[in-house]
Amino acid sequence: MLWGWGVMNSTALKEAQAVGYPREKMYGAWWAGAEPDVKDVGAGAKGYNAVAMQHGAEPNAPFIKEILNKVHGKGQGTGPREEVGSVLYVRGAMSAMLSIEAVRAAQERFGKGQVMTGTQVRWGLENLNLTQAKLDALGFKGVMRPISTSCQDHMGSAWARIHTWDGSKWQFTSDWYQADEQILKPMVRAAADKYAAEKKIQRRTPQDCQS
């Protein structure tokens, strides 16, 4: 069973437990694979699987240890200490890191120390080059794979893992899987073309990406 609506996830798991449906046969998309989806069910959700796209529960990641030490260790945390390293916490930390690195990339091109415009930050987001060495230096070793974006490829990576709820926490239970771009790209392009036509949006050209 493939499940993908996070808001209803705990209800689905409770119903599965009630009727004896094996949770190990249930798989959720990434928005149905965080602690709020399973914590109310607890041990009853044991075996439930979900896709983890470039993140998961990461209590041992270097940047998590640093936050616990330098922020919560000094009594300066603004949220519950026990949530540090959870799926949603890591997702937020990754989003913040990508935003900061985009500004840093933009400043390298348009002027160090200057306040960037929205257009300049967009350039930074479209020109990220987070190598493994860079991720390691940022404290994200093991959390995500390298990402390289461009004007024509905003995603930059098409890898995911499966993590499984063991009754009290998430555990990774697979290696990295890569999406089949030969199948996905034509579907994405068709949907994008349809949306652009409906909204009368002009597609950016390779020349537009050179700015």
Q: Which residues pair with 52 in a beta bridge?
A: 161
In a domain, 207, yes or no: no
In a domain, 204, yes or no: no
In a domain, 147, yes or no: yes
Query: CATH number of the domain that 163 lies in?
Result: 3.40.50.2300
Alpha helix ranges (H) inside 20-86: 35-38, 62-70
**6 or 88: whose pLDDT is higher?**
88
Q: Are residues 89 and 8 in the same domain?
A: no
User: Global pTM?
Assistant: 0.87
In a domain, 22, yes or no: yes
Q: Indicate the residue type of 113.
A: G
Which pLDDT score is estimated for 54?
Answer: 79
Q: Are residues 83 and 31 in the same domain?
A: no
Q: Are residues 30 and 74 in the same domain?
A: no
In a domain, 195, yes or no: no
Which pLDDT score is estimated for 118?
Answer: 95
Q: Are residues 44 and 89 in the same domain?
A: no
Q: What is the dihedral of CA 67, 69, 74, 79, to 10 degrees?
A: 40
Mean pLDDT of 128-141: 96
Residue-range definition of the domain harbouring residue 143:
57-156
5 pLDDT band, cuts 50/70/90, is low
Which pLDDT score is estimated for 205?
Answer: 78
Q: Mean pLDDT score of the chain, rounded to an integer?
A: 91
* 179: number of Cβ within 10 Å: 14
What does the pLDDT look like over 170-193, one tens digit per residue?
A: 999 999 999 898 999 899 999 999
13 pLDDT band, cuts 50/70/90, is very high
Q: Are residues 166 and 94 in the same domain?
A: no
On the question of pLDDT at 69 being above 80, the answer is yes
| Both structure tokens of 124 | 């930074």
Q: Are residues 44 and 113 in the same domain?
A: no
| Both structure tokens of 206 | 């390779």
* 125: number of Cβ within 10 Å: 18
Which pLDDT score is estimated for 210?
Answer: 64
Q: Are residues 66 and 134 in the same domain?
A: yes
3-class DSSP state of 139: coil
In a domain, 16, yes or no: yes
In a domain, 144, yes or no: yes
Q: Are strands 49-52 and 27-28 parallel, antiparallel or unpaired?
A: parallel
Which pLDDT score is estimated for 3?
Answer: 53
In a domain, 73, yes or no: yes
Structural contact between residues 49 and 28, judged by C-beta atoms closer than 8 angstroms: yes
Q: Are residues 109 and 36 in the same domain?
A: no
Give the sign of the dihedral formed by CA 164, CA 170, CA 173, CA 175: positive
Which pLDDT score is estimated for 182?
Answer: 93
Which pLDDT score is estimated for 179?
Answer: 87
Q: Are residues 81 and 139 in the same domain?
A: yes
- Give the C-alpha separation, 154 to 63, whole Å: 25
Q: Are residues 106 and 133 in the same domain?
A: yes
φ, ψ (nearest 5 deg) of residue 115: -75, 125
Q: Are residues 18 and 80 in the same domain?
A: no
Structural contact between residues 87 and 73, judged by C-beta atoms closer than 8 angstroms: no
Displacement of CA 125 from its chain's centroid (Å): 15
Q: Are residues 4 and 76 in the same domain?
A: no
Number of domains in the chain: 2
